[in-house]
Amino acid sequence: MLKNSHEEISILMENLEYNEFFVHYQPIVDAATYEIRWIEALARWNSPIAGTVSPDKFIPVLEEKLHIIPVGMHILKKACMQLKRWYSNGCTNSGISVNVSSLQLQQHNFAEAVVTTLHEFGLKPHNLVLEITESLKLMGNEHALQTLKVLKEMGIRISIDDFGTGYNCLKCLQEFEFTSIKIDRSFVANMGNNRCKIIIDSIISLGHRIGVKVIAEGVETIEQCNQLKHMGCDMLQGYYFYLPSPAEELSLLLKNDFINKSMVQ
């Protein structure tokens, strides 16, 4: 019986086929209106041997083996293709948010590859957000910072993911003008704790004082939702609103939501 340990996943990944990876989609909503602003593309892996493996387990192995570079691009392309499809079917006007590893940013041609992908699917830079984690590896890497600057100047939004968990988060904010901050879901999960609430409140004020939008991820209950809105959080994401779902499931939901909205306007 496979327990999906780091070693076992490493072995499974030796004969990797990129089409074993697929994408689930989870909306990010406006905290005031609950309208869908962005749809995050979340990588999923269906190993022919081990079945579905959690991203918390397979992403570190992909990074270690540098597979994250082609797999990350594969996910970006799938996500852009799906967004194009939603636009063509009149399902939504939200943009797509894609996770990017700092290892991808270190590639010399990453910015060009992103532009080529946007062109390929007829999308505009403002339709795309790139979510960056692994701040530790990002800072001090001039090429990665330069890549981010180039992408941002083109109009692509850059979000810092899992904020509050990396050692260098504040340094990141000093070195690069991110467009938004995503508060890590571990803070949201512990909002019942007063210290945690103060930390969230402080991240929101900090974000607003430096002119960035603040998103809370991992919102699972109405209490968390109301408190985050009360604290002035701009956008919310989590099981309380939408579970990560296959594109087809979200298509139906987006279409209905979009039709309802256009009828009111």
Nearest approach in angstroms of CB 112 to ligand G is: 24
Which phi and psi angles does 264 have, rounded to 5°? -75, -35
Beta-strand ranges (E) seen in 176-243 are: 180-183, 213-216, 235-236
# of chain residues touching ligand G (CB under 6 A): 15
Give the residue, chosen from 47, 82, 99, 101, that forms a contact with ligand G under the rule CB under 6 A: 99
**Structure tokens of 40?**
């995050």
At 103, is the secondary structure helix, strand, or coil?
helix
- The answer to whether 2 and 50 have CB atoms below 8 angstroms apart is yes
Site string for Mn ion, 96-115 (x = CB under 5 A): ---x----------------
- The answer to whether 110 and 58 have CB atoms below 8 angstroms apart is no
Measure Cα distances from 117 to 90, 111, 122 in Å: 21, 10, 9
Distance from C-alpha of 221 to C-alpha of 218, rounded to nearest angstrom: 9
Instruction: Verify binding: residue 63, Mn ion, rule CB under 5 A.
Output: no
**What's the distance, Cα to Cα, between the start and end of the chain in Å?**
55
110-120 vs 68-88: helix crossing angle, rounded to 10:
30
Give the residue, chosen from 63, 131, 184, 257, that forms a contact with Mn ion under the rule CB under 5 A: 131
Distance from C-alpha of 63 to C-alpha of 77, rounded to nearest angstrom: 19
Interface with ligand G in residues 135-164 (CB under 6 A): 161-162
Distance from C-alpha of 71 to C-alpha of 79, rounded to nearest angstrom: 12
Nearest approach in angstroms of CB 183 to ligand G is: 10
Instruction: Verify binding: residue 161, Mn ion, rule CB under 5 A.
Output: yes
Interface with ligand G in residues 215-234 (CB under 6 A): 217-220
Q: Which does 18 bind (CB under 5 to 8 A by kind): Mn ion, ligand G, none?
A: none
Instruction: Verify binding: residue 72, ligand G, rule CB under 6 A.
Output: no
Nearest approach in angstroms of CB 197 to ligand G is: 18
Beta-strand ranges (E) seen in 168-210 are: 180-183
Interface with ligand G in residues 169-188 (CB under 6 A): 185
Report the residue number whose CB is nearest to ligand G.
238
Which of these ranges, 77-85, 120-128, 199-207, 212-220, lies near ligand G under the rule CB under 6 A? 212-220
Number of other CB atoms surrounding residue 242 within 10 Å: 19
Site string for ligand G, 2-31 (x = CB under 6 A): ------------------------x-----
Instruction: Verify binding: residue 238, ligand G, rule CB under 6 A.
Output: yes
Site string for Mn ion, 211-240 (x = CB under 5 A): ------------------------------
> Applying CB under 6 A, which residues contact ligand G?
26, 42, 55, 99, 133, 161-162, 185, 217-220, 238-239, 244
